[in-house]
Amino acid sequence: MNIFFYFFNLRKKQCCRLLLAVLIAVSGCHYASAATLVDQEGNKVEYAAPFKRIISLYPAHTENLLDLGLDQELIGITSGDETPALLGRSQFSATDTPEKFIAAKPDLILIRPMISRAHPQLINQLQQAGITIVSLQPTTIDEMFIYWQTLGELTGRASAAAAMIQRFNGELAALQQDRDKVPTDKRPRVYFESIHAKMKTFAPSSIAVFVLESAGGINIAADATARNSTNIAAYGKERILAHAAEIDIYLAQQGQMNQVTREMIAEEPGFQAIKAIKSGQIYLIDEELVARPTMHLLEGIRLVRKMLYPEN
């Protein structure tokens, strides 16, 4: 059966849910003929059986594959991935030679768009060697569910992916039920920083803002515009300071993308005018818990909620 498994440019929730329903409906199918996948970069991939030897070049792929029960199929992970269950597993980088990848004999390498943009020659050489390359990275929650189901279809674990989505939504519903006990006009207003050095926030449709709003925060930068179809949005110091009197909480992701400290934020020239800075309401959260499309987002929601409502 040929099926269009993946289409990241969908923006309407109704369409996303319809596609997800189709994916779940075919989750029990066998690969009597080649299945078809169109990845995030528009590349069409056909495959006749689930992939069994996988290299993941994005830690989120790695976590999700493990959640799908694919420990044995995961033969390689990205350099720097510190997933405890995979200590000692072969590590790969987009800066490695094609020969290193080819020697490992993978049948699938999972990447994300930034890798193919930065290393097109490597990707081309691996494809010429007969290795399937699939590029995936969701930017919204609806896309994340499709992404999980796509990983399940690629690996013969569609039922496990559907169960994963169901489990996430069940826990999410309970968290949002708690959030809804607080009237909207009583919720704290939050500026959510993505990259301090460039004064960037998150796009309103991003996974990170979904985490914030699910925890009970009001996104002060709801007028931000996504950059190049990513989660990141430019905002600028002037626009941040225009909301200085409204910002109850200053929240920043912390990690490889944003190596920031509370002191750096508090001492930023001009930021002393911000309400949250004056009151010391500056919080940092691990970027892995708010920006990666994994089950850990539920933990991120719980932690952000504690920051917003410490008395609860």
Question: DSSP for 229-258?
Answer: TSSEEE--HHHHHHTTTT-SEEEEEESSS-
Residue with tokens 């009970």: 216
pLDDT of residue 31: 53
My answer on whether 214 and 112 are in the same domain is no
Boundary residue ending a domain (168, 191, 213): 168
H or E element in which residue 298 lies: helix 297-308
The residue length of the chain stands at 312
Task: Confirm whether 173 is domain-assigned.
Answer: no
My answer on whether 117 and 39 are in the same domain is yes
Q: Which residues of 109-128 are buried (b: 16+ CB within 10 A; e: fewer)?
A: bbbbbebbeebeebbebbee
pLDDT of residue 24: 39
pLDDT of residue 8: 40
pTM for the whole thing? 0.88
pLDDT of residue 52: 97
My answer on whether 289 and 253 are in the same domain is yes
My answer on whether 225 and 298 are in the same domain is yes
Each residue's pLDDT, cut to its tens digit, for the chain (312 residues) gives 333 344 444 444 444 443 444 443 444 444 556 899 899 999 999 999 999 999 999 999 999 999 999 999 999 999 878 777 788 889 999 999 999 999 999 999 999 999 999 999 999 999 999 999 999 999 999 999 999 999 999 999 999 999 999 999 999 999 999 999 999 999 999 999 999 999 999 999 999 999 999 999 999 999 999 877 789 999 999 999 999 999 999 999 999 999 999 999 999 999 999 999 999 999 999 999 999 999 999 999 999 999 999 987
Tokens linked to 232: 């990141």
- Pairing relation of β-strands 189-195 and 200-202? antiparallel
pLDDT of residue 84: 79
My answer on whether 26 and 136 are in the same domain is yes
Task: Confirm whether 136 is domain-assigned.
Answer: yes
Residue 207 contacts residue 138 (beta carbons within 8 Å): yes
pLDDT of residue 229: 72
pLDDT of residue 228: 74
My answer on whether 93 and 116 are in the same domain is yes
My answer on whether 275 and 191 are in the same domain is yes
My answer on whether 136 and 51 are in the same domain is yes
Task: Confirm whether 7 is domain-assigned.
Answer: no
My answer on whether 129 and 201 are in the same domain is no
Kindly provide the residue ranges of all beta strands, DSSP E only, lying in 79-207, ordered along the sequence.
91-92, 108-111, 132-135, 189-195, 200-202
Task: Confirm whether 1 is domain-assigned.
Answer: no
pLDDT of residue 51: 98
pLDDT of residue 33: 64
Task: Confirm whether 150 is domain-assigned.
Answer: yes
Task: Confirm whether 176 is domain-assigned.
Answer: no
pLDDT of residue 226: 86
My answer on whether 204 and 164 are in the same domain is no
My answer on whether 196 and 255 are in the same domain is yes
CATH code: domain of residue 70: 3.40.50.1980
Could you tell me the residue range of the domain that residue 44 belongs to?
A: 13-168
Task: Confirm whether 254 is domain-assigned.
Answer: yes
Boundary residue ending a domain (168, 201, 228): 168
Q: Looking at the 3D structure of the chain, how many domains does it have?
A: 2
Residue 37 contacts residue 45 (beta carbons within 8 Å): yes
My answer on whether 139 and 280 are in the same domain is no
Task: Confirm whether 260 is domain-assigned.
Answer: yes
